[in-house]
């Protein structure tokens, strides 16, 4: 993207200068620690600013991508030609009223789960170790240990392409396995209402600790990754298929099938998006050939590879 003065002027009227970053390395914003430069990276301070920016982008045909915390993303080595929009820390309020928790989607999911626990509300224990934003978790219907966002969400407030606000109820969200209506439509989630169940705080915290210990025991959390690389194929576990195909520890450059959990590709040094892509293709082809199962990526790819 050539320097777009009209866009920059528009942004500067709504966003602090330090929150408009040019040529920003996306490796700084992804849990894989991979990704070339985004032409523009903007931390959006408010729903009003977001609404105006979305409307502007759609009127002038400006490319943009909504980033959560980049924990399910593979950004190409040549970066992203357009504007990355991330909800800033000012769009991360969390409040509790009775059994209902309201949160803005820029909030980190583990923090949302912690606030629920502190208020003696059960239902988000499964979420306390999922390292994304609430927004990303809603879009992906993130889940673990028999829990998923679908079980707790009552409403999601979204903005459409023209910046108009809408409230989508649980049914309208079309939650499925690692998907929701927002994965296919240009909506931005800005706030959510969650219905939780009262329970003793110590029990909630104990459950969270137990699940997080299971994560630490089984997952290679000491390395950069994007979590599970592939979705769980019906009737199988991706990690087990990869292990059974003899691919534990397989490497392309600095991208490696984790020896601790074969469902994770980890970055053991300076892996590139190309390394990860090549490794993913090799895994898919060998698992298909040896075990007859097609693995579908869970990780979302954006940008130029």
Catalytic residues: 178, 228, 298
> Which residue is associated with the tokens 């759609």?
58
Contact with ligand FAD (CB under 6 A) among 225, 258, 267, 272? 225
Q: For residue 267, state whether it binds ligand FAD (rule: CB under 6 A).
A: no
Terminal CA-to-CA distance of the chain, rounded, Å?
Answer: 16
Contact with ligand FAD (CB under 6 A) among 76, 79, 123, 227? 227
Contact with ligand FAD (CB under 6 A) among 51, 88, 105, 128? 105
- Binding flags for ligand FAD, 64-93, as an x/- string (CB under 6 A): -xxxxxxxxx-------------x------
Angle between the N-to-C axes of helices 109-118 and 201-218, in degrees from 0 to 180, rounded to the nearest 10? 150
Contacts of 255 (CB under 8 A, 6+ apart): 265, 266, 267, 268, 271, 272, 275, 276, 278, 279
Q: For residue 131, state whether it binds ligand FAD (rule: CB under 6 A).
A: yes
Q: For residue 140, state whether it binds ligand FAD (rule: CB under 6 A).
A: yes
Q: For residue 303, state whether it binds ligand FAD (rule: CB under 6 A).
A: no
Q: For residue 130, state whether it binds ligand FAD (rule: CB under 6 A).
A: yes
- Interaction with ligand FAD in 272-301: which residues (CB under 6 A)? 300
Q: Which residue, 17 or 153, is less far from ligand FAD as judged by CB?
A: 153
Q: Which residue, 122 or 133, is less far from ligand FAD as judged by CB?
A: 133
Instruction: State the nearest-atom distance from the C-beta of 198 to ligand FAD, in Å.
Output: 25
Strands 80-87 and 37-44 come out as parallel
Rounded to whole angstroms, how far apart are CA atoms 281 and 287?
10
Q: Answer whether 152's CB lies under 8 Å from 124's CB.
A: yes
Q: For residue 136, state whether it binds ligand FAD (rule: CB under 6 A).
A: yes
Q: For residue 133, state whether it binds ligand FAD (rule: CB under 6 A).
A: yes
By CB atoms closer than 10 A (0-12, 13-18, 19+), residue 222 is exposed
Contacts of 98 (CB under 8 A, 6+ apart): none
- By CB under 6 A, the count of residues binding ligand FAD is 32
Q: For residue 132, state whether it binds ligand FAD (rule: CB under 6 A).
A: yes
Q: Which residue, 37 or 227, is less far from ligand FAD as judged by CB?
A: 227
- Interaction with ligand FAD in 10-49: which residues (CB under 6 A)? 31
Rounded to whole angstroms, how far apart are CA atoms 87 and 152?
22
At 229, phi and psi to the nearest 5? -75, -35
> Which residue is associated with the tokens 């108009």?
164
* Positions in the binding site for ligand FAD (CB under 6 A): 31, 65-73, 87, 105, 130-133, 135-137, 139-140, 142-144, 182, 188-189, 221, 225-227, 300
């Amino acid at each position: 993207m050539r320097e777009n003065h009209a866009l920059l002027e528009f942004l500067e009227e709504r966003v602090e200068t330090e929150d408009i970053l040019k040529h920003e390395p996306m490796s700084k914003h992804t849990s894989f620690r991979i990704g070339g430069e985004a032409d523009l990276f903007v931390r959006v301070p408010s729903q009003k600013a977001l609404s105006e920016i979305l409307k502007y982008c759609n009127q002038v045909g400006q490319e943009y991508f909504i980033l959560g915390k980049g924990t399910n993303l593979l950004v190409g080595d040549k970066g992203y030609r357009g504007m990355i929009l991330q909800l800033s820390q000012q769009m991360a309020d969390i409040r509790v009223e009775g059994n209902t928790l309201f949160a803005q989607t820029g909030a980190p999911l583990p923090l949302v789960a912690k606030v629920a626990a502190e208020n003696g509300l059960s239902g988000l224990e499964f979420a306390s170790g999922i390292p994304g934003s609430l927004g990303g978790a809603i879009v992906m219907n993130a889940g673990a240990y028999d829990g998923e966002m679908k079980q707790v969400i009552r409403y999601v407030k979204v903005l459409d392409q023209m910046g108009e606000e809408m409230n989508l109820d649980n049914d309208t969200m079309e939650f499925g396995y690692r998907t929701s209506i927002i994965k296919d439509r240009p909506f931005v989630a800005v706030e959510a209402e969650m219905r939780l169940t009262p329970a003793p705080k110590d029990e909630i915290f104990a459950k969270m600790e137990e699940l997080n210990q299971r994560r630490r025991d089984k997952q290679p959390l000491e390395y950069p990754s994007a979590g599970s690389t592939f979705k769980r194929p019906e009737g199988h576990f991706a990690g087990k298929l990869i292990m059974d195909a003899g691919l534990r520890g397989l490497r392309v450059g600095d991208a490696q099938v984790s020896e601790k959990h074969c469902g994770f590709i980890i970055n053991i040094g300076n892996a590139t998006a190309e390394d990860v892509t090549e490794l993913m293709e090799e895994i898919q082809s060998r698992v298909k050939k040896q075990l007859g199962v097609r693995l579908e990526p869970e990780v979302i790819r954006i940008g130029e590879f």
